[in-house]
Amino acid sequence: MSVILETSVGDLVVDLLVDQAPKLCENFLKLCKVKYYNFSPVHSVQKGFSFQTGDPLGPDSRDSDGGSSIWGLLSGPSKRTFVAEIDPKLKHSERGTVSMATVPSSRDADERLAGSQFLVTLGDEIDYLDGKAAIFGKVVEGFDVLEKINDAFIDDRGRPLKDIRIRHTVILDDPYDDPPGLVVPDQSPVPSKAQLATVMIADDEELDVDVDEAAMEKLRREREARAQALTLEMVGDLPFAEVKPPENVLFVCKLNPDLELIFSRFGKILSCEVIRDKKTGDSLQYAFIEYENQKDCEQAYFKMQGVLIDDHRIHVDFSQSVSRLSNLWRDSTNSKRQRQAGGFGGISSLEKKRHYREGEHGERDSRYRMVFNKDDMSTVSSSSVQGPPTATATTTTTDEVQQLRARYEKADQAHVFAFYDDLSAADKTALFDQLKSFDPDRINVLADRALHPPSDNEAASPPSVEPLPAAASASILDSDKQQVAEWYNAGLGLIAGNKVAVVLMAGGQGTRLGSTAPKGCFDIGLPSKKSLFELQAERIVKIQTLAQQHTGQATTPVVPWYVMTSGPTREATEQFFQQHGFFGLSKQNVIFFEQGVLPCISNEGKILMESKSRVAVAPDGNGGIYNALVASGALADLRKRGVEHIHAYCVDNCLAKVADPVFIGFAASKDLDIATKVVRKRAANEPVGLIIQKDGKPGVIEYSEIDKRLAEATDADGRLKFRAANIVNHYYSSRFLDTIDRWAQDLPHHVAKKKIPFFDPAAAATVKPDKPNGIKLEQFVFDVFPLVGLDKFASFEVDRKEEFSPLKNARGAGEDDPDTSRRDVTEQGARWLRSVGAILNGDSVGVEISPLKSYGGEGLEAYKGQEITAPSDTNIVYIKP
């Protein structure tokens, strides 16, 4: 039994598994029969993972109901969804697996409901979808079409920039009787106005037969040109471009009609070549400008980069890469198995062009190298390229460079330019851009404060330190169940209303764990082999589902996840998410941003150079999150989404309750600007920072600042007086974060004395010192606490064994290591099962419960009375979704 899906990028032939999934196949066949899928957009593409379609309008349309089953079309909204049959023997093991998208049933968490939307996998072994999407077919022809969809350029929500749509469906065989009331149209229906309103950049199908053919062709060409222009702006590449320009050629984006006139004032222009559509000749609003010499080219770059002309902020780059993409690679793609992902972007024929995009040792480089291959020059006109450029140095600087040099000289930091005149053009630009991002006067102020703190005589009197008042404290341990339930329900309501977002601090590497990967990629040794990132992502997936079930709404709410990385972890983190299909979250709702950096300072107060062309820098601490939210555009995105409540936490806590509805509900009910989770201090000498009030303002006192008297002080109940241990788990109102620009620059900086590699002019090399030679400056995330009054701040005590298990040390340390993290997760699962009456054979049996099964112990009633025995080799049971 087969169906042909005729799409705007080619045909897919799908064989249906009518024996294994009869109801799913019947639904799909009948929807195809009534032409329900015609003009349905591919509304989500996750490269190497899957694409999704089947909603006639797509999720961007206000009129969309998410799609309906055939029975819903015939009988009304009550039958819009049906219980999907999920055969556990069917796996998403091969590219081209076709399955119905499903959501959990509000009646039974073990049931999943399907409608009309379906997915097609774009890679092998997509086991994440097993048990979540209901398989009913396999693509048997059209694997070249899967390649085209996989390679489509998409926006930040995963939607193709150029529409990909199902044009027609053809049923080759239908073994099912038509249900009563089914009406088969005589011909394919014309797209509705609501469908036409969803068009972004149309495919080549002529939708309006009344439009003049010439007008349609003009419209098509304009749309095609816009699409390719957007492609070039986003990825810096074009499918038909041939070469890499030399150093006297500028690449200009956002073309202005007076382009050549504007740029001619910087020197003699030999040629001005506009990039045009290969098929139509239409301008793509980009051009190459070739100057007579490199000096003029460099001057134009520094003068014109980022200039606003006619409401367009142009982009200029004299080392922009455009490389040839051969159409030959698409041949022989109609094979069932996916091509090996060798070469650049999975295309082996581009391997020889890799040097355009990477540094000598494969490191990520913000600028592209000036390299030519003889083979790459086959179709280059002599007017634009005279031959491979020579590595000529220039001793002449632009006014901007001179001005910047003067600023650093005035600040007594002139040494950062010591080797500037000897650098290549690319290295000059890189150093200029880096130095331009710092304020040398402010760096001097920070360095002076760090290296010359006030003496004891000059310092102010010690602050008054007290616990937070009762009005600014709450404890889930001491609150009654009804109060906790009210907070929980309030939080779920806010999540259901798309008012909650999560910010993850994930800039750290796993160096202390014996790993070079980002810490969030670390596997703590659970039976599922899930990383910290996956555990936390699945908690977001689950809490979205619980919020939807709580309100009974038709659509699943969105909790956007803002992941703060650092320079060393950014690329690896993004790749890890992509390789794992964003762990079931929509790509457009996972937003990566990068924390800032500050120069490293020598013990003499000088900015340290890592090399001739690069300043030694270090991340500005987790307190840099505030500036990073603004600089990256993440805060603007939060505003755009209408988010009002933000939960921020650190990646190394395997028990973190991400987007915790109880915490959100508590903070929102009190109209707080900042709240922070705490756990009860275990003992007076436990080395943890504490949440306190300092001179009447909320704050944190570090363990090293606490004397024995304070540490051991007790209250009237005999408990430690100072017991609120900080676990870096915070709530912010959007109202407060909207004021970041007023106070972020005034937050204090803290000093860390370090051994910092530096460039030694005498040795003409970077050396590693054997003792601390400088300082790194960092801010702490809690430095903002004193900015709010006690009426807008509160601590929220939670149960340590349920919510806090940090990963700090390598395996075998015995504390805060992978073994203790695994122990805490599995002991929690065992407690949850015992609480519903499950019988665990053995006191030491551990249980890993998938976050997709239960977020906080709910939904496990089916295990009441069940006997559970763990495998003898691990003594841990894994409860899957």
pLDDT of residue 708: 87
Residue span(s) of the chain under CATH 3.90.550.10 come to: 465-808
Please tell me the distance from the alpha carbon of residue 130 to that of residue 407, in angstroms, as a whole number. 60
Q: Give the pLDDT score at 314.
A: 65
pTM of the full structure: 0.58
Over the Cα atoms of the chain, what is R_g?
30
- What is the distance between the alpha carbons of residues 125 and 94, in angstroms, rounded to a whole number? 6
Superfamily covering domain 2-196 = Cyclophilin-like (2.40.100.10)
- Which position has the token pair 């004395």? 753
The label of the residue with tokens 């709010």 reads: 788
Which residues, including other chains, have CB under 8 Å from residue 707's CB and lie 6 or more apart?
none
DSSP state, residue 670? T
Q: Does domain 465-808 have CATH number 3.90.550.10?
A: yes
- What stretch(es) of the chain map to CATH 3.30.70.330? 249-377
Q: State in Å, rounded, how far the first CA of the chain is from the last one.
A: 31
The whole-number pLDDT of residue 436 equals 92
Q: β-pairing, 839-840 with 867-868?
A: parallel
How do beta strands 645-650 and 724-733 pair? antiparallel
Predicted local confidence at residue 248, as pLDDT: 65
Sign of the CA dihedral with 306 first, then 312, 316, and 320 last? positive
Give me the CATH code for the 249-377 domain, please.
3.30.70.330
| Per-10-residue mean pLDDT, the chain, length 881 | 89 93 95 93 90 90 87 90 90 94 77 93 86 92 91 81 90 88 84 79 50 56 52 44 52 61 76 65 70 79 67 57 30 39 33 33 33 30 29 52 94 95 89 92 90 65 87 94 97 98 93 86 95 98 97 96 93 93 95 94 95 92 93 94 98 98 98 98 90 95 86 91 96 97 90 91 88 92 96 98 94 89 97 96 90 97 94 89 88
Query: Following CA atoms 661, 664, 665, 666 in sequence, which dihedral angle do they give, to the nearest 10 degrees?
Result: 120
- Return residue ranges of the chain for CATH 2.40.100.10: 2-196
Residue 189 has a CB neighbour count (10 Å cut-off) of 13
| pLDDT score of 355 | 32
Secondary structure (3-state) at 100? strand
DSSP string, 189-202: PPPPHHHHTT-SB-
Per-residue confidence (pLDDT) for residue 31, from 0 to 100: 96
